[in-house]
């Protein structure tokens, strides 16, 4: 079976498994009575042929609990209990896939899916995190009057800052500060000084522009390799992209990177033998009426994986892969 999987996928003997994690529990509502559309990300990217384009097996869907937009300061984290339950269920799915020899590719959803993915690895030992994001997501009660949404504090949560979510299963922190490399955060991020003081390695969007994405990715990997890690997870939030090329996120901002730069960042990280899996978050198909941005994302991801694993593309992203994607 292992030989068959390697022949089919050509991925270091570890086939890809595409898993949908369509949770929007960690975001505020975009309007009164509305739900964040990021839960449609996985379906939209599959519609653009991502499953076949990645040569991936179908890892199924981890269905999210019902979203509630009701919240006010003092309520703690929005949908906190639901996020906690969902994180444990997502971790169970990731662990099963890892046990079966797969490389999980998780399609969120919002950034709170990081909690479940990092929890799966924490159950297994000491793993790092390559955190590609336009924001540090480091808001917590130590630096803010209130938190509100888990997607704005996911890095704080997994590094042990917070209350119930940070203490999930009594395993805080899910990743140590020194085991995190942050890439692509905006140069004006409010929490840059704090995360640097904490010992978290950071390369901003400006650093990437100056040094080049390949150099920055190599430096991040050197940092992660210098530690006694069993591997590392990759988090990729599409709001790392500049608002001129990716407006379909909940908080589009200028000062980000472009698609080509994102691919150049991803290739060395994905190609590293210690990469344990990856998640993609925050693309909102409700803000992509003609589907052009979804097609661009799918094509870029297929390019990154093909280059990282030296596999020929199967068909082309943007074409429907059929009901099963095989």
What is the per-residue pLDDT across 126-152, written as a single tens digit (0 to 9) for each?
A: 999 999 999 999 999 888 887 778 898
Residue 324 predicted with pLDDT over 60:
no
* CATH code of the domain in which 98 resides: 3.40.800.10
Tell whether 322 is covered by a domain: no
Share the mean pLDDT of the chain.
90
Least reliable range by pLDDT among 101-105, 160-164, 226-230, 284-288: 160-164
Using one digit for the tens of pLDDT, what is the confidence trace for 9-45? 434 668 999 999 999 999 988 778 788 999 999 999 9
Percentage of the chain lying above the pLDDT 70 cut: 90
In terms of residue numbers, what domain contains 156?
A: 2-309
What is the C-alpha to C-alpha distance for residues 89 and 104, in angstroms, rounded to an integer?
15
> For residue 5, what pLDDT is reported?
38
Its pTM stands at 0.92
Across 260-280, average pLDDT: 97
Contacts of the segment 31-37: beta carbons below 8 A, 24+ positions apart: 32/69, 33/69, 34/69, 35/67, 35/69, 36/67, 36/110, 36/250, 36/284, 37/284, 37/285, 37/286, 37/287
Q: CA separation (Å) from 291 to 42, 46, 241, 246, 301? A: 13, 12, 17, 12, 16
Across 224-234, average pLDDT: 97
Cis peptide before 173 (omega within 30 of 0): yes
Tell whether 71 is covered by a domain: yes
Tell whether 241 is covered by a domain: yes
Tell whether 321 is covered by a domain: no
> For residue 70, what pLDDT is reported?
82
> For residue 149, what pLDDT is reported?
85
> For residue 71, what pLDDT is reported?
67
Using one digit for the tens of pLDDT, what is the confidence trace for 171-183? 999 999 999 999 9
How many other CB atoms sit within 10 Å of the CB of residue 325? Answer: 19
Tell whether 317 is covered by a domain: no
- Helix, strand, coil percentages in the chain from 3-state DSSP, rounded to 5: 40, 15, 45
Using one digit for the tens of pLDDT, what is the confidence trace for 54-64? 999 999 999 99
> For residue 325, what pLDDT is reported?
32
> For residue 258, what pLDDT is reported?
98
Q: Where does the pLDDT of residue 78 fall: very low under 50, low under 70, confident under 90, or very high at 90 and above? A: confident
Q: Where does the pLDDT of residue 156 fall: very low under 50, low under 70, confident under 90, or very high at 90 and above? A: very high
Cis peptide before 109 (omega within 30 of 0): yes
Q: Which two tokens stand for residue 219?
A: 């430096």
Domains of the chain: total: 1
Across 194-208, average pLDDT: 98
Percentage of the chain lying above the pLDDT 90 cut: 79
Tell whether 320 is covered by a domain: no
Using one digit for the tens of pLDDT, what is the confidence trace for 286-315? 999 999 999 999 999 999 999 998 765 444
Across 182-201, average pLDDT: 98
Query: Could you tell me if 301 and 308 are in contact, meaning their C-beta atoms sit under 8 angstroms apart?
Result: no
Tell whether 272 is covered by a domain: yes
Q: Which two tokens stand for residue 40?
A: 């449609």
Across 72-93, average pLDDT: 89
Q: What is the dihedral of CA 102, 87, 189, 231, to 10 degrees?
A: -30
Residue 6 predicted with pLDDT over 60:
no
Tell whether 284 is covered by a domain: yes
Residue 264 predicted with pLDDT over 70:
yes
Residue 326 predicted with pLDDT over 80:
no
Across 199-204, average pLDDT: 98
What is the C-alpha to C-alpha distance for residues 105 and 101, in angstroms, rounded to an integer?
13
> For residue 316, what pLDDT is reported?
42
Bridge-based pairing of strands 16-20 and 57-61 is: parallel
Least reliable range by pLDDT among 69-78, 115-124, 137-146, 203-212: 69-78
């Amino acid at each position: 079976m292992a030989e068959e999987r390697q022949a089919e996928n050509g991925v270091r003997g570890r086939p890809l498994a595409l898993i949908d994690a369509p949770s929007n529990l960690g975001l505020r509502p975009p309007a009164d009575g509305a739900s964040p559309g990021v839960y449609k990300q996985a379906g939209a990217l599959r519609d653009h042929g991502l499953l076949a384009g990645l040569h991936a097996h179908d890892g199924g869907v981890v269905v999210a609990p019902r979203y509630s937009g009701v919240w006010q300061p003092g309520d703690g984290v929005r949908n906190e209990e639901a996020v906690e339950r969902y994180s444990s269920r997502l971790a169970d799915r990731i662990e099963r896939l890892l046990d079966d020899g797969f490389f999980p590719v998780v399609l969120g959803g919002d950034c709170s899916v990081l909690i479940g993915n990092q929890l799966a690895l924490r159950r297994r030992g000491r793993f790092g995190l390559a955190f590609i994001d336009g924001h540090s997501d480091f808001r917590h009660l130590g630096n803010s009057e209130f938190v509100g949404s888990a997607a704005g504090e996911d890095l704080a949560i997994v590094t042990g800052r917070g209350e119930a979510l940070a203490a999930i299963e009594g395993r805080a922190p899910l990743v140590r500060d020194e085991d995190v490399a942050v890439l692509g955060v905006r140069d004006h991020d409010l929490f840059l000084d704090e995360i640097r003081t904490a010992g978290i390695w950071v390369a901003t969007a400006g650093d990437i522009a100056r040094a080049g994405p390949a150099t920055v990715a190599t430096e991040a990997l050197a940092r992660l390799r210098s530690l006694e890690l069993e591997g590392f997870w990759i988090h990729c939030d599409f709001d790392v992209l500049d608002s001129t090329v990716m407006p379909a996120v909940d908080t589009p901002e200028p000062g980000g990177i472009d698609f080509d730069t994102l691919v150049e960042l991803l290739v060395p990280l994905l190609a590293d033998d210690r990469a344990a899996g990856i998640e993609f978050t925050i693309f909102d198909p409700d803000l992509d009426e003609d589907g052009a941005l979804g097609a661009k994302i799918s094509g870029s991801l297929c390019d990154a994986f093909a280059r990282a694993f030296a596999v020929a593309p199967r068909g082309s992203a943007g074409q429907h892969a059929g009901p099963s994607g095989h």
